[in-house]
Amino acid sequence: MNPTWYVRTVTDAARARIGTARLAAACGVSPLERTRLVVALTAQLRQSLTKGGTWIVTARTDEPSDDGRLTVELRPADGRTVWQAYAVRSAESDTEPAEHVPEDVGTLAEALFSADEDAGLLLDKLDEQQALVAFHREELHQTNQGVLVLHAELDAAGQRQRELFAAEQSARREAESARGRLTFLADASAALTASLDPDAIVGLLPDLLVPRYARTVDVWLFDNPDDERPTHPRPAAAVVAARRGRPQYAADHPGGLPGVDDRPPSALAPDRPLLCIPVLAHRTPLGVLTLTPPGERWDPDDAVMLIELTRRAGIALENARRYEHNRDIAETLQRALLTELPTIPGMNLAARYLPATRGMNIGGDWYDAFRQPDGSLIAVVGDVTGHGLHAAVMMSQLRTALRAYAVDGASPGALLTQLHQFLHHLRLDLYATAVIARFRPHEPELTWAAAGHPPPVLRTPDGEVHTLDARPGAMLGIPLDQRIPDHTVPLPPGSTLALYTDGLVERRAQGIDPGIHRLAHALSTVRPADLADDLDASADRLLHPLLDDSEHDDDVCLLLCHVRDGE
């Protein structure tokens, strides 16, 4: 079916419009598409009427090439198609010819009015779409509001995160600074306590503090008899710090330092702040440490660290002074007990004692030589455990006890047994080692005994050296009942016996046996004439290769006994 309408007037145009609308409805075209088609046709018809002439409107629904579409064309009576439109047909559409369009005006008007139904349907669709658009607009608005709130929350969270990061960085820097101070304090404390020389401790403070924590350092000690520097005026803040025992800060501005009193600037240095810290030991003032800041002023945490370091320096200084005092007493006592060796017919004696050069350099090493009532000679070398005044006092008691026990003429083993019982009953938690040798005049035999001590070394006239390593007794004073045995060896004239303490032969990295071998070798290389004529020089020559370094951890004691030949 291909209806055709000839349009010359407005009425013809209305008939063509109404026929097209009815045909589209019959073909199942949707109201929206039908309205679009009719509106577009109406616009074309209006333009055609303006131009005048006869126009032909054709609607095609039965051509296979249309592919299920309603095609509407407009062309002049004597020309080609100038306008063409399509509308999709429904598969269930009615393809019967459309009802005839009446020609009277009233019926045409009614038909035109009835066309508003499509417009009404279109408006309803538009209302639905507008409502849907309004709904989605509101939904979008709510979504936008949520997005704005989320952005605000994200901004706030980002700000909090930045603040937390800044706080973390600040805390990290403070922790690093605190760790640096603690590390410095630990290292400085170790350096101060490593020395037992008061002058070295005082001289170490400027090296530790300048330039990191102070520009200048002045140490004022109240009772330093070795200080030969001329006295000079002290800042008033230093005097107040010494009197009150509290740190003082002298400057033209408040220091704000914890535990420190503020004072006016010093007249001696008005342009520089001064921090005066008392050097205390057991609440007793030893002096004052006066510092000037490395910059404009001190950080409060640095000031706290400096106060603590000064406190530790005071303790180290007090310990060093006590050490010197005890060392002087012990050294005086020890030197008094290490008496001169006796002159014995037919024998030469030489002894050497060297205190330890590291640590408490007064120990319990001792030697002695004396005659018994029967004319025999007792030579002894001993070593009390520990160092210091206590060890020196114990050594003097053992020396005195040995001389008392020897009056009865007891053998070396019996003397050591008595010393063991004496020391064991004292219960002083001190132990000792000792070796005793007895020489009888005109007898070619040596009797000796040892208790936990390095073995004696004997050189015979033929130059052979023997280590007398027969089984010794245990240390003196240990909780053990023991009887220390005697040992005898031949002693021809020209022989030399070496008694010594472990400080001569023992080294931490090597033990004691290599040292004994070195001593035996050194003794074998000494010329017999030197042993007979100058035993003191021979003792020095023995010590030189054995003490190859200038420092040793323990005392060194050596006693040489040479039996002269032909006497």
Strands (E), 193-295: 216-221, 248-250, 261-263, 274-281, 284-292
Choice between 500 and 12, residue whose per-residue pLDDT is larger: 500
Read off the pLDDT of residues 305-332 as tens digits, 9 standing for 90 and up.
999 999 999 999 999 888 888 777 766 7
Contact 388, 326 (CB under 8 A): yes
Please identify which residue in the block is written with the tokens 């400057």: 251
Whether residue 1 is predicted with pLDDT greater than 70 in this model: the reply is: no
Choice between 145 and 90, residue whose per-residue pLDDT is larger: 145
Rounded distance between C-alpha atoms, residue 434 and residue 449, angstroms = 9
Read off the pLDDT of residues 238-295 as tens digits, 9 standing for 90 and up.
999 999 999 999 999 998 899 999 999 998 888 899 999 999 988 788 999 999 999 8
pLDDT bucket at 385, cuts 50 / 70 / 90 = confident
User: Which domains does the chain possess?
Assistant: 4-114 (no CATH), 195-325 (3.30.450.40), 338-563 (3.60.40.10)
Task: Please give the helix or strand (H or E) that residue 236 lies within, else none.
Answer: helix 236-244
Read off the pLDDT of residues 193-205 as tens digits, 9 standing for 90 and up.
888 889 999 999 9
Whether residue 485 is predicted with pLDDT greater than 90 in this model: the reply is: yes
Cis peptide before 211 (omega within 30 of 0): yes
DSSP string across 475-540: PBTSS----PPPEEEE--TT-EEEEE-HHHH-BTTTBSHHHHHHHHHHHHHS-HHHHHH-HHHHHH
Rounded distance between C-alpha atoms, residue 440 and residue 374, angstroms = 9
Q: What is the pLDDT of residue 175?
A: 86
Sort residue 54 into left (φ over 0), alpha (ψ -120 to 50) or beta: beta
Rounded distance between C-alpha atoms, residue 53 and residue 41, angstroms = 17
Read off the pLDDT of residues 205-246 as tens digits, 9 standing for 90 and up.
999 999 999 999 999 998 765 554 546 788 999 999 999 999
Query: At a CB cut-off of 8 Å and minimum separation 6, what does 410 contact?
Result: 418
Rounded distance between C-alpha atoms, residue 353 and residue 556, angstroms = 6
Nearest to 312 by CA among 180, 221, 190: 190
Please identify which residue in the block is written with the tokens 């063409």: 84
Q: Which residues pair with 261 in a beta bridge?
A: 248
Read off the pLDDT of residues 2-60 as tens digits, 9 standing for 90 and up.
889 999 988 888 888 888 888 888 888 888 888 888 889 999 999 999 998 999 999 98
The pTM of this model reads 0.53
Q: What is the pLDDT of residue 228?
A: 47
Read off the pLDDT of residues 463-479 as tens digits, 9 standing for 90 and up.
999 999 888 899 999 98
CA 332-338-339 angle, 5° bins: 115
